[in-house]
Amino acid sequence: MGINFPDTPVLNQLYPIPITPGLPQYRWDGEKWVTATSIDMSGTVRYDTAQALTASQKAQARSNIDCLKKNYIINGAMQVSQENGATVGTTSGYYAADMFNYIFSNAGVQSFAQVASPAPSGSPNRLRVTVTTADASVGAGDFLFIGQTPEGLRVADLRLGSSAAKTFTVQFGVKAPAGTYSMSFTNGAANRTYVAEYVIAAGEANIDVVKSITLTGDTTGTWAVDNSAGVYIRWCLMVGTTNQLAAGAWGAGNLLGSPNQFNFMGTVNNVFELFDVGLYEGPVAPAFQVPDYPSELALCRRYYEKTGIVTTSSIATLMPTGFWTVEKRTTPSPFTWTVDVGTGATYSTVNSAPTKAFYQNAAHSQIATATITGNARL
C-alpha cells in the first residue's frame, strides 16, 4: 500500500504526524521525501543522522511519540467518581474517585475526597487527604496510603517477574507539606515489594509540583497476568516499622514505605493532594494528558458500575432486567438494587455475571426506576 503524502509539502515538513510504531516518519528535503525518524515497537526513537534534523524537529517527533504511550493508571485525572461523588469519606477503604481508595490504621482521624480544584493538566478535580485529628506518635503497625491496583491483564506487557521485566516511570502531581515521602509497588501475591522515595523540598511545600519515579520491574516473584491483582501501587503518608522497607531495591514482603517516611498525620490540618497520575513504560514519562471522559468512564465501569433500569407493571411479581454497559472484571459482589421510585417492594433472587443480564424478583410492587450497583474491584 502506497503512502498518501501531502500534495504541497513545505521544506522540512514531517509526515505522518503522529508517528506510527514500527513505521518510519518522513521529511520533505525540498525535492523528495526522505526518512527522518522512526520508532520501534519497544518505543525507542531512532533518527536518521544523515538528515540533520533540527532540535525543534526532534522535539516534535518525541512529542508525537509520547502521545502514543499507554497510561497504565486508570482515572489518573480523577474525573470519575461513580460511588461517592465529592462526598468526604473517613472510613478505611473509601473510594473518593474510581480506582483510588485510601487505607489506614492509626490513632488519628483523616478524611478523603475528590475536590473541585483545577490541576495543571486542565482536569477539574484532584484527590485530597486532610488530617482532622493528629497522630504524632507513629506506632509500629500504623500506616496511611492512597492506592490503585491495576489488574494483571492491564500490566502483563511490563513482563514483571521475568528476566525481560521492563523499566517503567510513574509521574504524578502532588501538593503536600515538606518532607520525604514513599511509594510502594507490590505484586498480587503480596510477597515482593519495591519502595521508592521522593522529596517535597521546603520551597515546594503546599504548592503544586510534579514528581517522577523510575524503576526496573522485578525479575523474580509471581506477578499476575490475568484478571487478579497485577500490582498494588501505593502513595504512603505514614508508616510504622512493621511495614517499612529500605528504598531503592526489590525485597520480600508486603511493605508500604521507607524508614524516612514523613509522618503526614503529625499535624492537624495537614493536606495532601494527588492529581495528574500516570504510569508509563520506559525511563521518561510524557506530559500528562486528561483522558477522554466517556472512554475513562468505560474503563472504570469494568470494576464498579452504577447504572439504572426503568420498568412498570401492575402484576404481583416483576422481573425487571438490565445489562452491564461493559464486561466486568469478575462477577460483581456486592450487587445492590435500590428502588428510586416505586411502591411496596420486596426483593429476592439476584443473578449477576460479568457479561450477562442481571435481574431481581420483586413482589407486590410497581417499579418505575431502580439503581443497580455492581462491585468488581480488586
Same domain, 19 and 160: no
- Structural domain boundaries enclosing 36: 14-66
Identify whether residues 251 and 348 lie together within a single domain: no
147 and 293 share one domain = yes
Query: How many Å apart are CA 119 and CA 345, to the nearest integer?
Result: 45
The band of 114, judged by pLDDT with boundaries at 50, 70 and 90, is: very high
Q: What is the pLDDT of residue 56?
A: 61
Pull the grid cell for residue 186: 507490590
Query: 117 vs 5, which has greater pLDDT?
Result: 117
Mean pLDDT of the chain: 87
Q: What is the mean pLDDT of residues 8-30?
A: 79
Instruction: Give 167's pLDDT tier (boundaries 50, 70, 90).
Output: very high
Same domain, 120 and 231: yes
Q: Are residues 186 and 261 in the same domain?
A: yes
% of the chain exceeding 70 in pLDDT = 80
Strand order in the sheet with 271-281: 109-116, 125-133, 271-281, 167-175, 209-216
- Residue where a domain terminates, one of 281, 297, 313: 297
Are residues 36 and 182 part of one domain? Answer: no
| Top-confidence residue, 4 or 317 | 4
**Cα 34-35-38 angle, rounded to 5 deg:** 160
Q: What is the pLDDT of residue 280?
A: 98
How far apart, in whole angstroms, are the C-alpha atoms of residue 280 and residue 265? 30
- What's residue 4's pLDDT? 82
pLDDT digits (tens, 9 = 90+) for 44-100: 444 444 445 566 655 555 555 555 689 999 999 999 999 999 999 999 999 999 999
Q: Is the pLDDT reported for residue 10 higher than 70?
A: yes
Among 297, 315, 339, give the residue marking a domain's end.
297
- C-alpha dist (Å) from residue 355 to 110, 186, 265, 324: 38, 29, 43, 7
Identify the CATH number of the domain in which residue 236 sits.
2.60.120.260
Query: Percent of the chain at pLDDT above 90?
Result: 65
**Interval 174-192: pLDDT, tens:** 999 999 999 999 999 999 9
pLDDT value of position 345: 54
Domain shared by 23 and 161, yes or no: no
Reference 111, options 230, 323, 270; nearest CA is 270
Q: Are 201 and 117 found together in one domain?
A: yes
For the chain, the domain total comes to 3
